[in-house]
């Protein structure tokens, strides 16, 4: 007697289906993360709830005044950013230099600290200047706007960005 029964069909693997569904969901998420990372806003005055551009978003009436403050500080901040990057590059290049010494390297690291401190002081000065012009009601608006922001990094990925300029 010959066995003519057909082989049993393979059961569908639930793990395979779940994996496929996760991939379908995760691919767009990764695409958004990569796109956002590649298109970071390097504009001066961005970042943080007290940054001038955050003040502009919370209090649109002050947009022109705050933009003037940003424009005033922008050349100095750009120069300080370049100096900080140059200090890091110099410290890195010193690692491969034939005349490497711990003293020279410590001095180059002190240069990085000084450059970063100067940049941070200028950013804080710009922030303080943009916030000092606000009335108490406008300051409260900035606080309320900051509290209403979504704190989740995941949902901020999909939120549209404020228009530039």
Cα distance between residue 14 and residue 4, in whole Å: 30
The model's pLDDT over 66-91, given as tens digits with 9 standing for 90+, comes to 999 999 999 999 999 999 999 999 99
Can you say whether the dihedral through the CA atoms of 114, 88, 75, 142 is positive or negative?
negative
Residue 54: predicted pLDDT:
87
Cα distance between residue 144 and residue 58, in whole Å: 9
CA 155 to chain centre: 15
Count of domains observed in the chain: 1
The model's pLDDT over 88-102, given as tens digits with 9 standing for 90+, comes to 999 999 988 888 899
Q: Is residue 157 part of a domain?
A: no
For residue 142, the domain's CATH number is 1.20.120
Q: Is residue 156 part of a domain?
A: no
The model's pLDDT over 42-63, given as tens digits with 9 standing for 90+, comes to 677 777 888 898 889 889 999 9
Residue 32: predicted pLDDT:
84
Q: Is residue 120 part of a domain?
A: yes
Q: Is residue 86 part of a domain?
A: yes
Using pLDDT thresholds of 50, 70 and 90, give the confidence band for residue 145. Answer: confident
* Range of the structural domain that residue 68 is part of: 47-148
Model's pTM, two decimal places?
0.66
Q: Is residue 165 part of a domain?
A: no
Q: Which single residue is written with the structure tokens 């710009």?
A: 126
Please provide the DSSP assignment of 85-104 as one string. Answer: HHHHHHHHHHHH-TT--HHH
Does the pLDDT value for residue 31 go beyond 90?
A: no
Q: Is residue 163 part of a domain?
A: no
Does the pLDDT value for residue 1 go beyond 60?
A: no
Exposure string (b/e) for 141-151, b if CB count within 10 Å is 16 or more? bbeeeeeeeee
């Amino acid at each position: 007697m010959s066995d003519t029964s057909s082989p049993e069909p393979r059961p569908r693997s639930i793990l395979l289906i779940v994996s496929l569904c996760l991939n379908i969901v995760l691919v767009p998420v990764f695409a958004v993360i990569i796109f956002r990372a590649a298109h970071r806003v390097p504009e001066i005055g961005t970042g943080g709830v007290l940054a001038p551009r955050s003040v502009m978003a919370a209090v649109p009436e002050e947009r022109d005044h705050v933009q003037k403050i940003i424009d005033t500080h922008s050349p100095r901040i750009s120069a300080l950013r370049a100096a900080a990057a140059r200090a890091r590059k110099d410290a890195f290049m010193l690692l491969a230099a034939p005349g490497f010494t711990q003293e020279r390297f410590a001095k180059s690291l002190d240069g990085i600290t000084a450059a970063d401190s100067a940049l941070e002081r200028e950013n804080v000065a710009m922030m303080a200047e943009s916030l000092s012009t606000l009335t108490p009601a406008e300051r409260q608006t900035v606080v309320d706007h900051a509290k209403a922001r979504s704190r989740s990094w995941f949902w901020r990925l999909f939120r549209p960005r404020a228009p530039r300029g």
